[in-house]
Structure 1
Amino acid sequence: MAAGACACPGTTPFVHEAGPAVDSGPGALARLGDHVLDVHRADRSGGAVVVTDAGLRATGIVDEALAVLAAAGCPTVVVDDVPGNPTVASVEAGAKVVAHAFPGSRPVIVALGGGSALDAAKGIARLAADPSGPGLPLIAVPTTAGTGAETNGFGVLEDPARRCKVYCGDTTTTPRVALLDPLLTHGLPAGPTAATGVDALVHAVESLVSRGRSPVSEAFAAEALRRAWRWLPAACADGGDARARAEMLVAAHLAGQALTRSGLGLVHGLGHAITAHHGVVHGRALAAVLPEVVAFSLGEAPDAWARVTEVLGLPRPTALPGALADWCAAVGVVPGLDAAGLGIGPREVEALAGTAVADPVSRNAPRAGAREDLVGLVTRSLR
């Protein structure tokens, strides 16, 4: 190492690549047709496939999007059977719908919904395209403020046969446009609002301390953390609080921009395992282990944990596990695996630890831990 050089995030080489174009603001959905037509002109493509779920379709939001696309003269089909935890089989089925509706063509995939719809859409965009070419063009319209999945081209799917999460997509399935309309989040009940918001906060925390962090990811993550910490309690207390809803949608997007550049960590490794083994909602699975993972990790990357502490206005890093537990409980997502009502026994603990160790995101944590470490961590989370 040259004299005077130091190994720290500010001097570590990194590459910053632009993500999707962002169209943000109340009423942005009305511009969906314009964005689809822009992609058609740029890509010489035609038609659109809206990927969503039956629950969202029942709210009328899907019909609003279809009306905008119809007004733009865009032929459209709908794939609305995405499950809460999208599976490999559901993506394969969606790709067949696309191939049947638009044979030999490259329609725009419009991902409309929460993280499940956006993740499934990325898989469909990749699988329905020519394997030797880029994925189908994609526009993402999130209706929850949590996953930030509109920022990157990779989705997380469930493989029920192996009881684990798998990753799909590539850089070509990064959305061309992220359309952020906070009005689409106003009807979300307090429970899902809290669970998705916890996901955004964990993205920010893990991005700030991950092994892959850079000055750019840190900037996104710090601002995401500040906003989520301040505004999720307000959004949960009053679902009609327009400021809180808008702030949370931006917080989730910034956290997604951060994780796209830095990667995540052990909270997500364990969260993925809990969801795959027990079907728990993703945000609740994260909250179940968040305080214990943070306590386990504080001995590594002290400067990074000091940054998290500073953003949250806490006196010292050792205050983080308790403060995070209290914050999660205050929004209605109580930490601890017992609180999730899973009835996990010793055999299940071993299985969760094994799945989490094998998840690539766990290795990006400041302290990843061996399998035996995670057995102890999960056991402590049961109390």
Structure 2
Amino acid sequence: MSGSTPDTAACCAGVAAGTFLSGPGPVVDFGPGAVARIPGHLAGAGARRVLVVTDRGLRAAGVVDAALAPVRAAGLAVEVDDDVTGNPSVEVVERGAEHARALGSDAVLALGGGSSLDAAKGIALLAPTPGARADGSGAAPAPGLPVVAVPTTAGTGAETNGFGVLEDLATRQKVYCGDASVVPRVAVLDPELTHGLPARPTAATGVDALVHGLESLASRGRDPMSEAFAAEAVRRAWVWLPTAVADGRDARARAEMLVAAHLAGQALTRSGLGLVHGLAHALSLHAGAVHGLALAAVLPEVVGWSLDADPAGWGRAAEAAGLPGAAALPDALGALLEQVGTRVTVADLGVGPDGHEALARTALADPVTRNAPRHPGSVAEVVALLTRC
């Protein structure tokens, strides 16, 4: 996912005392050809009329038809909503919920990258409750429709939790829309669905998975379970992301990255993220930046800036990456980003010095930033950091 639940820091406040609470996640169905088992998972959720939430690119590429062939063959009624765009907005989710209500949908199949999965969870939550709003205003939503999630990229891990990160275009803020009732019942992880993804989006989504693991290991909200998921996610992504980018037909690399993304999603759901994601969200809001590239633009510099605040957390991240210590992380991250073609600057993404203050204010207001090991003390401090990115 491109974020975490807004209350993560509060939920994990007792970790310092040695306590933590870990809730249930989805059943995971992993393996080549797993899409053939989607009808059984929908039937297990009581589905008869399914709304498929996806995007037009996947539909045009034939991925949607391929994934839905076994669903239609099983006799389930299927309607496709392909209105999702990158960085989905609250308006997209509210329109989707109205569509689901009009169709009488009783389940949602989320198919695509993180944007589609995030939008699908919001649609599933709002659909049963006319008057509920994606920004949290309006009627209090009833429990949402059951969701089955099928990621087609190895990135966000959005299939692991019940929250979506949306854009409120009116306020230029990120909105966290979700509820435990729309945690996907099943996450169908079929690596064959990722084989056709070109190198550039493979790299961008893979960077997202890697950063989820890295920030989870240094998050103020981490616990022993999130650390275990995050360390394994970093270990796999560090080794296999360059291979997946260099050779998209490498079946092992595609499978390893899909697992890495899921494990990283499990980690961030428990721990929360940090300032790298806070700044990346700001870059998407103010410049329309691709999320993975926005992360890459600030990653080495933010990690270097915060090393002294949590040497143990960053040390675990370095160990998972096979590095000698935390001090090696910033340069190693820069080299990895260069290797996979995502080493960009904030200016490359369209934001010059005049826009740094707006980015800083947006990032400081983002709930994910609360979990950062070093929390900026002022807008000026973030602006100074951005001059190095």
TM-score range, shorter chain: over 0.9
Write the mapping of 1:222-371 to structure 2, written as runs, cut at 5 A.
222-338=231-347, 340-346=348-354, 348-370=355-377, 371=379
Partner of 1:3: none
Partner of 1:137: 146
Unmatched 5+ stretches in structure 2: 1-12, 130-139
Q: Structure 2 CA distance, aligned partners of 1:93 and 1:268?
A: 27
Partner of 2:383: 375
Partner of 1:17: 23
Aligned-residue identity in percent: 61
Partner of 1:188: 197
Residues 49 and 30 (structure 1), Cα distance of their counterparts in 2 relative to 1, 3 Å cut: same
TM-score of the superposed pair, with normalisation by structure 2:
0.92
Question: Structure 1 stretches (4+) deviating beyond 3 angstroms?
Answer: 7-11
Task: Give the Å deviation of 1:310.
Answer: 1.3
AA partner of residue 371 (structure 2): N
Given that 2:156 and 2:265 are in contact with CA atoms closer than 8 Å, whether structure 1 keeps it comes out as yes
Q: Structure 1 CA distance, aligned partners of 2:153 and 2:365?
A: 29
Given that 2:125 and 2:141 are in contact with CA atoms closer than 8 Å, whether structure 1 keeps it comes out as no
AA partner of residue 12 (structure 1): G
Instruction: Please list the CA deviations of residues 230-249 of structure 1 after superposition, one character each: whole Å capped at 9, or x if unmatched.
Output: 00000000000000000000
Instruction: Please list the CA deviations of residues 287-314 of structure 1 after superposition, one character each: whole Å capped at 9, or x if unmatched.
Output: 0000111011011121111111111222
Partner of 1:61: 63
Partner of 2:84: 82
Task: Give the Å deviation of 1:341.
Answer: 4.0
Larger radius of gyration: 1
Q: Structure 1 CA distance, aligned partners of 2:72 and 2:245?
A: 34
Given that 1:9 and 1:215 are in contact with CA atoms closer than 8 Å, whether structure 2 keeps it comes out as no
Partner of 2:134: none
Q: Secondary structure at the match of 1:380?
A: coil
Partner of 1:149: 158
AA partner of residue 38 (structure 2): L
Residues 85 and 362 (structure 1), Cα distance of their counterparts in 2 relative to 1, 3 Å cut: same
Cα RMSD after superposing both structures: 1.5
Q: Structure 2 CA distance, aligned partners of 1:217 and 1:335?
A: 29
Residues 86 and 168 (structure 1), Cα distance of their counterparts in 2 relative to 1, 3 Å cut: same
Q: Structure 1 CA distance, aligned partners of 2:101 and 2:145?
A: 11
Instruction: Please list the CA deviations of residues 207-261 of structure 1 after superposition, one character each: whole Å capped at 9, or x if unmatched.
Output: 0010010010000000000000000000000000000000000000000000000
Q: Structure 1 CA distance, aligned partners of 2:264 and 2:36?
A: 25
Q: Structure 2 CA distance, aligned partners of 1:353 and 1:174?
A: 31
Q: Structure 2 CA distance, aligned partners of 1:359 and 1:10?
A: 23
Given that 1:275 and 1:285 are in contact with CA atoms closer than 8 Å, whether structure 2 keeps it comes out as yes
Residues 246 and 341 (structure 1), Cα distance of their counterparts in 2 relative to 1, 3 Å cut: same
Partner of 2:126: 127
Given that 2:54 and 2:81 are in contact with CA atoms closer than 8 Å, whether structure 1 keeps it comes out as yes
Task: Give the Å deviation of 1:335.
Answer: 3.6
Task: Give the Å deviation of 1:315.
Answer: 2.1
Task: Give the Å deviation of 1:375.
Answer: 0.9
Q: Secondary structure at the match of 1:178?
A: strand
Task: Give the Å deviation of 1:10.
Answer: 8.4
Ranked by relative contact order (alpha carbons within 8 Å, sequence separation 6 or more), the top structure is 2
Q: Secondary structure at the match of 2:123?
A: helix
Residues 231 and 95 (structure 1), Cα distance of their counterparts in 2 relative to 1, 3 Å cut: same
Q: Secondary structure at the match of 1:292?
A: helix
Task: Give the Å deviation of 1:337.
Answer: 1.4
AA partner of residue 47 (structure 1): R
Q: Structure 2 CA distance, aligned partners of 1:203 and 1:61?
A: 26
Aligned residues: 366
Q: Secondary structure at the match of 2:309?
A: coil
Q: Structure 1 CA distance, aligned partners of 2:371 and 2:54?
A: 31
2:36 corresponds to 1:36: no
Residues 8 and 124 (structure 1), Cα distance of their counterparts in 2 relative to 1, 3 Å cut: closer
User: Which shifted more, 143-152 or 327-336?
Assistant: 327-336
AA partner of residue 154 (structure 1): F
Unmatched 5+ stretches in structure 1: 1-6
Task: Give the Å deviation of 1:159.
Answer: 1.2
Given that 2:157 and 2:266 are in contact with CA atoms closer than 8 Å, whether structure 1 keeps it comes out as yes
Partner of 1:4: none
Given that 1:22 and 1:177 are in contact with CA atoms closer than 8 Å, whether structure 2 keeps it comes out as yes
AA partner of residue 83 (structure 2): D
Partner of 1:114: 113
Q: Structure 1 CA distance, aligned partners of 2:196 and 2:127?
A: 32
Q: Structure 1 CA distance, aligned partners of 2:159 and 2:38?
A: 14
Q: Structure 2 CA distance, aligned partners of 1:224 and 1:196?
A: 14
AA partner of residue 360 (structure 1): P
Q: Structure 1 CA distance, aligned partners of 2:226 and 2:94?
A: 33
Given that 2:216 and 2:226 are in contact with CA atoms closer than 8 Å, whether structure 1 keeps it comes out as yes
AA partner of residue 89 (structure 2): T
Q: Secondary structure at the match of 2:44?
A: helix
